[in-house]
Structure 1
Amino acid sequence: MTLLWIAIAVLLLPALWLLVAPLRNARRLHDQQHAFETNDTSAEQNVAIFQRRLTSLEAARERGDIDAERFEEDRLELERSLLEDTAVRARRPLKPAGAGRLVVPVVMVAVVVVSVLWYQQQGAEGDLVLLAVQQEVQNDPEGSLSMYIERMEEQAERQPDNPNVWSALFPVYRETGQMPQAVDALERLIEIEGRIPPLLAQLAQIRFFMAERELTDEVQALVDETLEQDPRQPTVLGLLGVNAFDKGDYEQAIDHWRRAIANIEDPDTVDSLREGIRVAQERMGIEPEETVGEGNGIRVRVALDEELAGRVDDDDTVFITARDIEGELPPLAVVRAQVSELPMTVTLDNTAAMSPQAQISQVQEARLVVRVSPSGQAMPQPGDLFGDLESVSVEPIEDAEAVEVVINRVFE
């Protein structure tokens, strides 16, 4: 922290220097202004010009070029002009060069005080303290997880409104099996950050496992609140997959886990969900992949054309399908979703296969077809909306970039 305040002082020095700089030139500027005002002859020049014009005007009257009435009008105009020119020359007395010097140190002190107070309110001093605590525990030969928790709990008392304190404590509590403390930390974090989907999903997950994998009313309420804000929230979808698996609804579990995988970037979590899909497929009597989590596929970003948005409802079914180019095989991969989830990104790989005999890894290119079905039927119906994309390369999922399919046509 000492280095931090030194850095703040170094940053304040240029500002203070700018405040002091005018004082160094005050005497020179005062003398220059005084000399200018002393030697200023603009008033005399204006009077001389007035007299020449008045003489010229009188000569014109004597020659008969203008009458007496015109002479009076022009003379009044000259006098008015002279008054205006000489009026602006009136100056206030020049103040001494040292006037106002005492204000500068007052302003300098005010700048320093305001800067320090502002940083204490808006700066990241608290986060720097947290970082120092982490480094201290890591560098301590006797450092341990319990020491880290103890130090962070001290910071929680000192910085109760710092969300980073609670976001650091929550996962540590969870990993050490202190579930009630984890819930308290997470609920405190939600109070500070708001009821946003990722935090609500984490709370639903931990309460779900605390209830011995039972979807209680409290957990269900959290799930519903999360999905209302973000229908693609992967943590909640993973939780629903576990619940469906425990009930023996393996098809539903696979569907939830596939949708979760499409929105997860952590490879370890993806591998865990794919392992769950493999086990569910075994329970269903479907031959699972030998190397789940590896292989080729396609990442697809699906969007709905705004001009067609009024023709569908949020709960209409969306079928995202990959087919072989020749059209000789059954669908290679199918993912179901809802219109409310669009736009969304999904992964089509062997875990989304309908049959072991027709898998996306068996082809080098595939045709993508995305269809919105109000009836929810697998076969296209007149009035269904769809979009497609021809000849999409099938490549390793880890390296695949999402291709975009826009639902922009009506099936006749």
Structure 2
Amino acid sequence: MLIFWAVAASLLLLAVAVLLRPLLRREAAPFTTTPAMVAVYREQFAELGQDRENGLLDEPQYQQAKSELERRLLEDARDAVPVSGKADGRPERLLAAALLVLLPALAVPIYLKTGNPGAIIAARQPQANPAADGGNVPANIEAILQSLRQKLELDPDDGAGWALLARANTKLHRYDEAVQAFEQAVRTIPDDPQLLVDYAIALAFLNQHSMAGEPEALVTRALELDPGQAKALMLAASAAFDRSDYSRAIDLWERLLHKLPPDSEAAASVNRALDDARRLQAAESPEQLGH
């Protein structure tokens, strides 16, 4: 927060300097105050008073701005130009005085009133996962999902819309709702391998993270449509391994391994799984030969 205010103050001073430089470039000839000058400053004093009443300036800020404006009025009175004479500096000096006083005096109160200082602190706080338990979802996301549900009620054959809703609910860990949406999506789009795999994953979460049964059937269907679908290969291999079908698990993992970069972490994980499957398969072989 301290760094923010330091940067903000530096930028404010830079802005004031840039604005004042062309305004003060020319000097006015010595003269006395004019009615026009008095009117301008009277308006500035009135604006300061209004800002105080509106809460934009507190009492110390108001007194400081007022004193600065009075000082500028005295300086301009010594250097003013008569209305009938040259206009070689009077308007610029008045504007410079107003900018010099009002910009610093009003910048901070206006920011505190209309800005969001708390965002700096909030940005530094650890962000919780709003979907960790399926609840506490930001209002804008919930509104989008509700709008999507309403559109799907009007057009229940929108398979892409159902798929979008299903995947969003999966991200939010709302697996019951995700499965219902996937059912509608697959009804309309039955031959999308990725959709079938995502549907299987949502079902597996409801099935105590098990691929047995319908989740594996969905993955098998996805592999029939696309034998090289990497996620389907991984899930099908894991399902085969869990039911001790090591031969199928090895075949699927070997197919998957050919699709992965050799030095990747995923390839290393598959190789470890293959080692386990081959070891268990070898351990079963003597028993099978004895029978």
Shorter-chain TM band = 0.3 to 0.5
Higher helix share: 2
Structure with the larger strand share: 1
- TM normalised by structure 2 equals 0.42
Larger radius of gyration: 1
**Which fold has the larger relative contact order, with Cα–Cα distance below 8 Å and residues 6 or more apart in sequence?**
2
TM-score by length of 1: 0.32
